[in-house]
A and B are shown apart, each in its own frame.
Chain A
Amino acid sequence: MTAVQEVPISAGGNPIGFGSMKRVEDQRFVRGQGNYVDDVNLPGMLHSAILRSPWAHARIKSIDTSAAEALPGVIAVLTGKALEGIPRPSLLGDNFAWMPTLSYDTQAVLATDKVRFQGQEVAFVIAESRYIAKDAVELIDVDYEPLEPVMDAKRAMDPGAPVIRDDKGQTDNSITDVHGHKTWESGNAISTAEAIARAEADPNCVVVTQEVMYPRVHPAPMETCGSVAHMDKVTGQLTLYTTSQAPHAHRTVYAMVAGLPEQKIRVISPDIGGGFGNKVGVYPGYVLSILGTIVTGKPVKWIEDRGENLMSTSFARDYHMTGKIAATKDGKILAVDVDVLADHGAFNGVAQPTNYPAGFFHIFSGSYDYPDAHCKVTPVYTNKAPGGVAYACSFRITEAVYVIERLVDCLAAELGMDPAELRLKNLLKPEQFPYTSPTGWVYDSGQYEKTMRVAMEIAGYDELRREQAEKRARGEYMGIGISFFTEGVGAGPRKDMDILGLGMADGIELRVHPTGKAVLRLSVMSQGQGHETTYAQIVAHELGIPPEDIDVVNGDTDQTPFGLGTYGSRSMPVSGAAAAIVSRKVKERARIVAAAALECSPDDLEWELGRWSVKGDKERGKTIQEIALLSHSSLELPEGVEGHLDATAVYNPPNLTYPYGAYICVVDVDPGTGVVKVRRFIAVDDCGTRVNPMLVDGQVHGGIADGIGMALMELIAFDTDGNNLGGSFMDYLLPTSMECPSFELGETVTPSPHHPIGAKGVGESATVGSPAAVVNAVMDALAPFGVRHADMPLTPSNVWRAIQGNPIRVDMAIE
Chain B
Amino acid sequence: MEISMKINGAEVTHDVEPRTLLVHFVRENAGLRGTHWGCDTSNCGACVLWVDGTPIKSCTMLAASAAGHDITTVEGLEKDGKLDPIQQGFIECHGLQCGFCTPGMLMTGRWILDNNPKPSEEEIREGISGQLCRCTGYKNIVDSIHWAAAHPAENEVSA
Which positions in A face B, CB cutoff 8 Å?
Answer: 22-23, 25-34, 36, 38-39, 131, 219-224, 271-276, 305-307, 527-530, 694-695, 697-699, 701-706, 728-730, 734, 736-738, 740, 742-743
Contacts of B90 in A (CB 8 A): 26, 30
Contacts of B138 in A (CB 8 A): 701, 705, 736-737, 740
Closest CB of chain B to A605's CB: distance in Å?
A: 39
B140 is contacted by which of A272, A274, A307, A701 (Cβ under 8 Å)? Answer: A701
Contacts of A23 in B (CB 8 A): 91, 94
Asked if residues A223 and B38 are in contact (CB atoms below 8 Å), the reply is: yes
Contacts of A706 in B (CB 8 A): 134
Contacts of B129 in A (CB 8 A): 736-738
Asked if residues A36 and B139 are in contact (CB atoms below 8 Å), the reply is: no
Asked if residues A29 and B136 are in contact (CB atoms below 8 Å), the reply is: no
- B112-135, CB < 8 A from A: 121, 124-126, 128-135
Asked if residues B32 and A224 are in contact (CB atoms below 8 Å), the reply is: no
B139 is contacted by which of A34, A530, A701, A728 (Cβ under 8 Å)? Answer: A701
Q: Which of B38, B106, B125, B128 has the most CB of A within 10 A?
A: B38
- B17-41, CB < 8 A from A: 17, 19-20, 27, 32-41
Contacts of A734 in B (CB 8 A): 132, 134
Chain A CB within 8 A of B46 CB: yes
B96 is contacted by which of A26, A219, A220 (Cβ under 8 Å)? Answer: A26
Bound Cα distance from A31 to B98, whole angstroms: 14
Given known A-B contacts A32-B32, A273-B100, A274-B98, A220 and B137 have beta carbons under 8 A apart: no
Contacts of A705 in B (CB 8 A): 134, 136-138
Contacts A131-B20, A529-B97 known; list 4 others, CB within 8 Å. Answer: A31-B75, A222-B101, A306-B39, A743-B137
Closest CB of chain B to A427's CB: distance in Å?
A: 27
Asked if residues A32 and B96 are in contact (CB atoms below 8 Å), the reply is: no
Tell me the dominant secondary structure on chain A's binding face: loop
Chain A CB within 8 A of B92 CB: yes
Given known A-B contacts A222-B38, A273-B100, A529-B97, A39 and B33 have beta carbons under 8 A apart: yes
- B53-111, CB < 8 A from A: 73-75, 77-78, 83, 87-88, 90-92, 94, 96-103, 106
Contacts of A273 in B (CB 8 A): 36, 38, 98-100
Asked if residues B74 and A742 are in contact (CB atoms below 8 Å), the reply is: no
A29 is contacted by which of B40, B96, B137 (Cβ under 8 Å)? Answer: B96
Closest CB of chain A to B77's CB: distance in Å?
A: 8
Chain A CB within 8 A of B5 CB: no
Bound Cα distance from A36 to B37, whole angstroms: 11
Bound Cα distance from A730 to B74, whole angstroms: 26
Asked if residues B98 and A698 are in contact (CB atoms below 8 Å), the reply is: no
Write the chain B residue with the least CB distance to A530: B97
Asked if residues B40 and A306 are in contact (CB atoms below 8 Å), the reply is: yes
Contacts of B124 in A (CB 8 A): 737
Chain A CB within 8 A of B44 CB: yes
Bound Cα distance from A31 to B126, whole angstroms: 24
Contacts of B100 in A (CB 8 A): 34, 36, 221-223, 273-274, 528
**Can you sample 6 A-B contacts with CB below 8 Å?**
A31-B87, A33-B34, A38-B33, A131-B19, A704-B137, A737-B128
Bound Cα distance from A740 to B17, whole angstroms: 41
Given known A-B contacts A220-B134, A222-B38, A527 and B98 have beta carbons under 8 A apart: yes
Bound Cα distance from A22 to B96, whole angstroms: 11
Asked if residues A728 and B39 are in contact (CB atoms below 8 Å), the reply is: yes
Bound Cα distance from A36 to B98, whole angstroms: 10
Contacts of B137 in A (CB 8 A): 701-705, 740, 743
Closest CB of chain A to B134's CB: distance in Å?
A: 5
Write the chain A residue with the least CB distance to B39: A306
A222 is contacted by which of B126, B134, B139 (Cβ under 8 Å)? Answer: B134
Closest CB of chain B to A218's CB: distance in Å?
A: 11
Chain A CB within 8 A of B142 CB: yes
Closest CB of chain B to A327's CB: distance in Å?
A: 35
Chain A CB within 8 A of B13 CB: no
Chain A CB within 8 A of B149 CB: no
Asked if residues B34 and A306 are in contact (CB atoms below 8 Å), the reply is: no
Contacts of A695 in B (CB 8 A): 94
Bound Cα distance from A27 to B102, whole angstroms: 12
Given known A-B contacts A222-B132, A223-B38, A26 and B142 have beta carbons under 8 A apart: no
Bound Cα distance from A34 to B90, whole angstroms: 15
Contacts of B101 in A (CB 8 A): 222
Chain A CB within 8 A of B43 CB: yes
Contacts of A275 in B (CB 8 A): 98
Closest CB of chain A to B100's CB: distance in Å?
A: 3
A32 is contacted by which of B35, B88, B97, B136 (Cβ under 8 Å)? Answer: B35
Contacts of B128 in A (CB 8 A): 736-737
Closest CB of chain B to A10's CB: distance in Å?
A: 17
Contacts of B102 in A (CB 8 A): 29-30
Q: Which of A22, A306, A701 has the most CB of B within 10 A?
A: A701
Bound Cα distance from A219 to B132, whole angstroms: 13
Closest CB of chain A to B147's CB: distance in Å?
A: 12
Closest CB of chain B to A768's CB: distance in Å?
A: 15
Bound Cα distance from A459 to B38, whole angstroms: 36
Asked if residues B103 and A32 are in contact (CB atoms below 8 Å), the reply is: yes
Contacts of B88 in A (CB 8 A): 30
Bound Cα distance from A672 to B135, whole angstroms: 33
Write the chain A residue with the least CB distance to B88: A30
Bound Cα distance from A743 to B140, whole angstroms: 10
Asked if residues A306 and B38 are in contact (CB atoms below 8 Å), the reply is: yes
Chain A CB within 8 A of B141 CB: yes
Bound Cα distance from A445 to B139, whole angstroms: 30
Bound Cα distance from A728 to B43, whole angstroms: 9
Given known A-B contacts A222-B100, A695-B94, A738-B126, A702 and B74 have beta carbons under 8 A apart: no
Contacts of B83 in A (CB 8 A): 30-31
Bound Cα distance from A485 to B88, whole angstroms: 36
Asked if residues B44 and A729 are in contact (CB atoms below 8 Å), the reply is: yes
Q: Which of B35, B96, B137 has the most CB of A within 10 A?
A: B137
Closest CB of chain A to B62's CB: distance in Å?
A: 13
Contacts of B78 in A (CB 8 A): 31
Given known A-B contacts A528-B99, A734-B132, A743-B137, A698 and B94 have beta carbons under 8 A apart: yes
Closest CB of chain B to A696's CB: distance in Å?
A: 10
Contacts of A527 in B (CB 8 A): 98
Bound Cα distance from A697 to B93, whole angstroms: 11
B136 is contacted by which of A271, A276, A701 (Cβ under 8 Å)? Answer: A701
Contacts of A31 in B (CB 8 A): 34, 74-75, 77-78, 83, 87
**A-B complex: 7 closest residue pairs judged by Cβ atoms:** A32-B34, A528-B98, A273-B100, A29-B99, A705-B137, A701-B137, A729-B43
Closest CB of chain A to B58's CB: distance in Å?
A: 13
Closest CB of chain A to B138's CB: distance in Å?
A: 4
Q: Which of B40, B103, B129 has the most CB of A within 10 A?
A: B40
Closest CB of chain A to B139's CB: distance in Å?
A: 5
Contacts of A272 in B (CB 8 A): 98
A221 is contacted by which of B35, B41, B134 (Cβ under 8 Å)? Answer: B134
Asked if residues A276 and B134 are in contact (CB atoms below 8 Å), the reply is: yes
Contacts of B32 in A (CB 8 A): 32
Q: Which of A698, A730, A734, A743 has the most CB of B within 10 A?
A: A698
Asked if residues A729 and B99 are in contact (CB atoms below 8 Å), the reply is: no
Closest CB of chain B to A707's CB: distance in Å?
A: 10
Asked if residues A271 and B98 are in contact (CB atoms below 8 Å), the reply is: yes
Closest CB of chain A to B108's CB: distance in Å?
A: 11
Contacts of B134 in A (CB 8 A): 219-222, 274, 276, 702, 705-706, 734
